Amino acid sequence: MDPVEAYSPDRSLKGKLRRRLVQWVDRRPARFTLSRPMVSFCFDDAPASALTEGAARLEAHGARGTFYIAASLAGRQGPMGRYGARKDVIAAAANGHDIGCHSYSHLDCGAAGATVIAADAAKNQKTLARWGLPPSTSFAYPYGDVSRAAKQALAPRYGLLRAVHHGLIEAGSDLNQAPAVGVEGPGGEALALRWLDRAADRKVWLILYTHDVSDDPSPWGCTPSALDRLVSAARNSGFDIVTVAEGVSRMQA
């Protein structure tokens, strides 16, 4: 297969306005209270380094993460290195990690129509089922791009739809466009630490995401040592480290 090239969603003023305005429509407000803050560590696109090194770092702390899989990428080369193969995804799931849906073709959900989005997500779930994996309870919008059509198409199928705008999940947050904070690039660790402090103060849920985990990461990834420090900081601040599936389950309870 040809390598996967880097892609950027619509960065025009129109695209930015669409992403901002869609936050106010087709909302599914969260209703929950926590006695302790929660944090989830996510790995988008699931490069092989995330499924091996990233998973191992979490497991060393007795924690588990959520890996958002776009099945068509499995085993291919991309801008973050090789994507995890089917066997890597199955091994992570067997070790207790959560497998989330990221669409089959890594579709830009801000540009596609509702029918195409629903079909692509369904194809991904069917592929993961053939791999022997359970249905995903959450979906992450590829590139963080979202539209009203995407929210309407996917909301009935998942307990949480995750975007990439910064924020915390608390009472009133939109579960159809849930915020998250990226641990990406040189400033990613410091940014994540600031958001951990905010989440701890307010006793709410923070989702952190990255991509590859390597000593020489891509612009979208982080180092193993940075991940180690963030997990330790969360433990020391009294966080419950949960997968996204577990976080959704707690909210529903």
In a domain, 123, yes or no: yes
CA-based R_g, the chain, Å: 17
In a domain, 1, yes or no: no
CA–CA distances in Å: residue 126 to residues 55, 71, 133, 211: 24, 10, 10, 23
In a domain, 104, yes or no: yes
pLDDT digits 0-9 by tens, 38-62: 999 999 999 999 999 999 999 999 9
In a domain, 155, yes or no: yes
State the amino acid at position 147 in one-letter form: S
Does 253 have pLDDT greater than 90? no
Phi, psi of 110 (to 5 degrees): -85, -20
CA–CA distances in Å: residue 137 to residues 65, 105, 229, 235: 14, 19, 28, 25
Domain that holds residue 137: 13-252
In a domain, 218, yes or no: yes
pLDDT digits 0-9 by tens, 179-209: 999 999 999 999 999 999 999 999 999 999 9
Q: Mean pLDDT across the stretch 115-130?
A: 98
Does 105 have pLDDT greater than 90? yes
State the amino acid at position 225 in one-letter form: S
In a domain, 245, yes or no: yes
pLDDT digits 0-9 by tens, 8-20: 777 777 777 777 7
Of 201, 207, 210, the residue nearest 238 (C-alpha) = 201
- Alpha-carbon distance 95 to 165, whole Å? 30
Which CATH number characterizes residue 94's domain? 3.20.20.370
The residue that leads in pLDDT, 251 or 129, is 129
- Backbone angle region of 93, left / alpha / beta, with phi > 0 → left and psi within -120 to 50 → alpha: alpha
Q: Mean pLDDT across the stretch 121-144?
A: 97
Q: Mean pLDDT across the stretch 100-119?
A: 95
pLDDT band at 172 (very low <50, low <70, confident <90, very high): very high
pLDDT band at 4 (very low <50, low <70, confident <90, very high): confident
In a domain, 233, yes or no: yes
- When divided into structural domains, the chain yields a total of 1
Does 3 have pLDDT greater than 90? no
Of 14, 208, 244, 220, the residue nearest 110 (C-alpha) = 14
The whole-number pLDDT of residue 14 equals 74
Q: Mean pLDDT across the stretch 60-89?
A: 96
In a domain, 3, yes or no: no
pLDDT band at 108 (very low <50, low <70, confident <90, very high): very high
Instruction: List CB contacts of 172: < 8 A, sequence separation 6 or more.
Output: 29, 30
pLDDT band at 236 (very low <50, low <70, confident <90, very high): very high
pTM: 0.95
The whole-number pLDDT of residue 2 equals 67
- Backbone angle region of 242, left / alpha / beta, with phi > 0 → left and psi within -120 to 50 → alpha: beta
Burial code (b: 16+ CB inside 10 Å, e: under 16) for 24-48 equals: eebbbebebebeebbbbbbbbbbbb
Does 78 have pLDDT greater than 80? yes
Residue with tokens 């429509």: 25
Residues above pLDDT 70, as percent of the chain: 98
